[in-house]
Structure 1
């Protein structure tokens, strides 16, 4: 049997076995129900006392009691049970050597017990258990608790006081006394010791944890080390998170972190969700703060080449993050992603939000949307949180847009308009600023059939710029406007045939596509570039109406785009294989170009190719650009997800830019997880710059995953600048059923490579 098959089999058996076979418990009832008594023999030593011997049991609503011998007082509704005692309730099973219960008081006491909760199967033992059915409370003396599978269980066996721990379970909590409260769904313990493989590893005089997955309690601590540019050696840190289940629709997590040389850090994450009819709200607010002893003494550190330079001193450091999404009803919705920090070095120095550790800036926005039938509108602020070595970016403060469409059979009218205020939030910059308004009416006629499509369209791009008087206006005008027309005719056919490959039947398509595009020349060389650049590599750009992203350049052209795509589909129409090749043929030279670049006067574009494969185990997609002169590879973007087995996978993302040119760049992001055995798993992530032969980021992880506990150790190396690296180590251990932890390396890998 393979390791993966063993792992799958173990997962199915991870729940602890029953301490005894569960009994069918009669449901609770408000009306009086008779008590059933059964046994191999029944005697009546007194008028109201029954003695049951041999496989005796008592059955009543909400309770089943089994034992070797039972003395039952009918008038007082009391019972004493001896021998192999079993108590069965809807939520609890208890075995004991001796027990008694009072049906009038709804109480019971059991001695030398082992208990198990249903349905989680969490279990333990106790010297005595006192049950109060009315209060829904159980009090246990000298008790233990675990969620691990039971090994070599002897029913009712309880170690004597001071006796060495058994090897029955991997981890176990031992309490002087323990309260299980079914009303609050909490477990409260006093003088608690956590044993891990018989070794005491943690003590607390008071301990409480949830019976349910989502409840107030201590989460798993995280330990690690962190090396910033100012440190010669790694500095350790420890995170202690505590979760507050405040209500079904909101909660809070408070994390106390201590960092060597810097001091304590407080972080609080509040989450909220509400739904009422069509109105839905959810938000997440994270606040982090510390009094940094290191920067208060030495100042903020910056890199100047390979040298560390210290700037102003700062003691109080903080960050705030708001992530929110709202649906207000009546067509209105909103989205917010906003960051603020006390300084640009915060994420580089403090191990929170590790994804921001090396980035120079990250977007932030607040957007209000309206959508009603054929009308869409929005208003937004789009900004950037500037971090270390951040570039000077334009921000949209604000942008307001409207989109409207109306169809008349195959004829469609679209109108889009927007006004954008381009602003630079710095006082010492040299960039021009402006208010740009754009109005684009478009009329199109489209025919769509199963065998092909045809679409003719005409659009007018009218742009107006109101330049700001900030001393950086390079246009020589305060206001200017122009209109660029676009005419396009696009058509394609779909040919299909069935073919067999082995015992499977597939559908193969052949899809030629042509587009004629005419855009007259309008001089735009004097217009600043606010949000415009060359488009990134994508096969669909062959049929784009503008070769530039953004709207500060509308590329002039008279061209014909041609592409041929073939797909192989399953009988159900699901994609399997896809391949395509295309090229653009220019009938006139282009004159519009980006600032500082020469116009392209080639008669044909390079060749563009796409290749895709989709199976249950493999997903691959690649777009490539080949030189029209010598068919050498120029640009490429490829993604691969390969699921080698249920527990092993490989993720790749390769990018090649301007191959064999002075500004060439080739990077590979690769990640993999492999299961070495049923319990051991390794993972790795690499981001490598082939052009400069530099490791941008490397991370390795080792994980042990058992039925009732798991641990993960990871090491990360991140390049900061000029060969200087940040090194960090993280470690956590999780006791399943007792607490939870953050995302595993496998989840981190999926997010990192966007799979």
Structure 2
């Protein structure tokens, strides 16, 4: 075609067009080329290329849309600087590709960025998998004169139907890379590299796994415990009449970058759990017995060990009836629940705390039989938990419209273990945990709270309300209070016309009057092009914020 104008807008609409002296389309080779090309948008030329090539169908190698940006330099008096990214895509094979990007930072220099992806085909050694490697490299920073780099690689291998291997490497040249070079991920505290190998045999009820991780601190982050490595094995024996025996052994080497001030060492935990489910259409009863022993071989402290047992019984009554609400046939279920847990008192203050924290006191945690997460703290118990659950279910669709739950724990003694492993005095009952989940047409409401009957106040609350008739018209309101910090959030989008919609959101801490995140934007989308503008403000720390403005123009089909 000579002196041609090409557009993928509907007939009679030329909001954007590509004008060229010549366009040649070879359908057999699936290649199209154009010479002396001008791209016009609303009649205004916005881009020129002497030569342009593309494929009418599928994908091919070639330049992708460049991106432009401006930023304020964080570590030098450079004023406002600019950034230009020019990406080139290599379509190597149907299962492989590579993205090469030249990232020009006016204050720092040229960063070479590459991202390689591959779907791993089946061989004699594995079934399938996926490989992804991304790397950035700046040979010499114009400000610091240092080499700056970043690498993020992931490999996921399904060796066979039972064995998985996952390896992740995430590292940067220095802790300020994301602030100085990437201008992203500036609120993160660390990067983790890890390897995870697991074997799961469902026929034999056997699971074996190995895990190891290392930590790199970034952005003035503080160190935490890492597992280097962790080996675990578990085996389940299923007997007659729903009898189960679970055997497990896990050994973990804990390390810490601040080992002078933090205990490190090897923890080995063995456990046997005997359980039986007794159930009918009217009730269920599940007694269980746990026997465990834990050995600590510590690097900078005396070795420790602990052996303990616990006993639990979980019982439920299963009731239901048919009801009709607003001319809709529903089934209402009602489940009274009684849970008993016992574990002896044992002072554990001499044991380190590698991974144990207090549970949140929610409805689910009251029936878990454990006060702490992890293994290092196993609290004494001699208590009953009373609960009540009720669901309203649509008979035809099986959708749950309303779900109600409430529970409270009552203690038969007045001593409890704190997070330091010391027995302290407590009251005879817990807070009342309640949750309400409502879903009706385009409206959803989720609310959970913990009420203190002694102080007559709500200690914790998590409430969210959402109205969403379609993706471009929604409203979400949320309020969160964990007893230490309180925050509120709002997000939504509203179509002003069929083509224009506005969107925005804010998350604000009510405790310290800090806006954690705020964004506002407007979008226009027609049949053949779209325009989006967004302003984003994100709190990093102290009085430091990330301020980002994104602008995007999409010419559909080009």
Q: TM-score range by the shorter chain?
A: over 0.9
Counterpart of 2:255 in structure 1 is 423
Secondary structure of the equivalent of 1:349?
helix
User: Equivalents in 1 of 2:462, 2:293: separation in Å?
Assistant: 34
Structure number with larger C-alpha Rg: 1
How many pairs are equivalent? 551
Counterpart of 2:535 in structure 1 is 715
Does 1:498 find its partner at 2:297? no
Does 1:533 find its partner at 2:357? yes
Check the 8 A contact 2:141/2:148 in 1, yes or no.
Answer: no
Q: Give the gaps of 5 or more residues in structure 1.
A: 1-139, 152-167, 297-313, 659-663, 739-755
Does 1:602 find its partner at 2:427? yes
Counterpart of 1:142 in structure 2 is 3
Secondary structure of the equivalent of 1:534?
coil
Does 1:371 find its partner at 2:200? yes
Q: Give CA-to-partner distance per residue, 1:68-103, whole Å, 9 cap, x none.
A: xxxxxxxxxxxxxxxxxxxxxxxxxxxxxxxxxxxx
Does 1:242 find its partner at 2:88? yes
User: Equivalents in 1 of 2:453, 2:527: separation in Å?
Assistant: 58
Secondary structure of the equivalent of 1:389?
coil
Does 1:622 find its partner at 2:447? yes
Counterpart of 2:370 in structure 1 is 546
User: Equivalents in 2 of 1:199, 1:188: separation in Å?
Assistant: 22
Counterpart of 1:678 in structure 2 is 498
User: Equivalents in 1 of 2:528, 2:402: separation in Å?
Assistant: 43
User: Equivalents in 2 of 1:553, 1:371: separation in Å?
Assistant: 28
Secondary structure of the equivalent of 2:178?
helix
Give me the CA root mean square deviation.
Answer: 2.2
User: Equivalents in 2 of 1:668, 1:348: separation in Å?
Assistant: 28
Counterpart of 1:702 in structure 2 is 522
Does 1:390 find its partner at 2:214? no
TM-score relative to the length of structure 2 = 0.93
CA distance 1:458–1:543, shift in 2 (3 Å)? same
Check the 8 A contact 1:518/1:557 in 2, yes or no.
Answer: yes
Structure (1 or 2) with the greater strand fraction: 2
Secondary structure of the equivalent of 2:415?
coil
User: Equivalents in 1 of 2:245, 2:421: separation in Å?
Assistant: 37
Does 1:402 find its partner at 2:236? no
User: Equivalents in 1 of 2:15, 2:260: separation in Å?
Assistant: 62
User: Equivalents in 2 of 1:224, 1:655: separation in Å?
Assistant: 35
- Give the alignment of 1:307-322 within 5 angstroms: 314-322=145-153
1:213, CA displacement in angstroms?
4.8
2:157 is aligned, of 326, 336, 346, to 326
Q: Give CA-to-partner distance per residue, 1:289-342, whole Å, 9 cap, x none.
A: 22564541xxxxxxxxxxxxxxxxx52211111233221104111223331011
User: Equivalents in 1 of 2:350, 2:440: separation in Å?
Assistant: 50
Check the 8 A contact 2:149/2:173 in 1, yes or no.
Answer: yes
Secondary structure of the equivalent of 1:540?
helix
User: Equivalents in 1 of 2:66, 2:279: separation in Å?
Assistant: 58
Counterpart of 2:104 in structure 1 is 258
User: Equivalents in 1 of 2:354, 2:73: separation in Å?
Assistant: 35
- Give the alignment of 1:96-175 within 5 angstroms: 140-151=1-12, 168-175=13-20
Q: Give CA-to-partner distance per residue, 1:42-91, whole Å, 9 cap, x none.
A: xxxxxxxxxxxxxxxxxxxxxxxxxxxxxxxxxxxxxxxxxxxxxxxxxx
User: Equivalents in 2 of 1:366, 1:640: separation in Å?
Assistant: 39
Counterpart of 1:360 in structure 2 is 189
User: Equivalents in 2 of 1:344, 1:372: separation in Å?
Assistant: 42
Check the 8 A contact 2:348/2:422 in 1, yes or no.
Answer: no
User: Equivalents in 1 of 2:546, 2:235: separation in Å?
Assistant: 50
1:220 is aligned, of 65, 82, 86, to 65
Q: Give CA-to-partner distance per residue, 1:414-443, whole Å, 9 cap, x none.
A: 1121110001135x7411101001111100
Secondary structure of the equivalent of 1:549?
coil
Q: Give CA-to-partner distance per residue, 1:245-290, whole Å, 9 cap, x none.
A: 2211121222222233223322222111134398120122111222
1:193, CA displacement in angstroms?
1.4
- Flag the structure with more relative contact order, 1 or 2, with Cα contacts below 8 A and sequence separation at least 6: 1
User: Equivalents in 1 of 2:447, 2:190: separation in Å?
Assistant: 28
Does 1:557 find its partner at 2:405? no
Check the 8 A contact 1:438/1:464 in 2, yes or no.
Answer: yes
Counterpart of 1:77 in structure 2 is none
User: Equivalents in 2 of 1:683, 1:363: separation in Å?
Assistant: 34
User: Equivalents in 2 of 1:449, 1:217: separation in Å?
Assistant: 65
Counterpart of 1:412 in structure 2 is 244
1:394, CA displacement in angstroms?
0.6
2:556 is aligned, of 725, 733, 736, to 736
User: Equivalents in 1 of 2:232, 2:491: separation in Å?
Assistant: 40
- Give the alignment of 1:262-281 within 5 angstroms: 262-276=108-122, 279-281=127-129
CA distance 1:665–1:236, shift in 2 (3 Å)? same
CA distance 1:448–1:215, shift in 2 (3 Å)? farther
User: Equivalents in 2 of 1:213, 1:681: separation in Å?
Assistant: 31
CA distance 1:618–1:247, shift in 2 (3 Å)? farther
2:32 is aligned, of 187, 193, 202, to 187
Q: Give the gaps of 5 or more residues in structure 2.
A: none
Does 1:337 find its partner at 2:162? no
1:654, CA displacement in angstroms?
3.4
Check the 8 A contact 1:433/1:467 in 2, yes or no.
Answer: yes
CA distance 1:213–1:611, shift in 2 (3 Å)? farther
1:686, CA displacement in angstroms?
1.8
Counterpart of 1:78 in structure 2 is none
Counterpart of 1:636 in structure 2 is 461
Check the 8 A contact 1:508/1:567 in 2, yes or no.
Answer: yes
1:652, CA displacement in angstroms?
4.5
Check the 8 A contact 1:223/1:731 in 2, yes or no.
Answer: no
Secondary structure of the equivalent of 1:348?
helix
1:196 is aligned, of 33, 41, 45, to 41
1:242, CA displacement in angstroms?
2.5
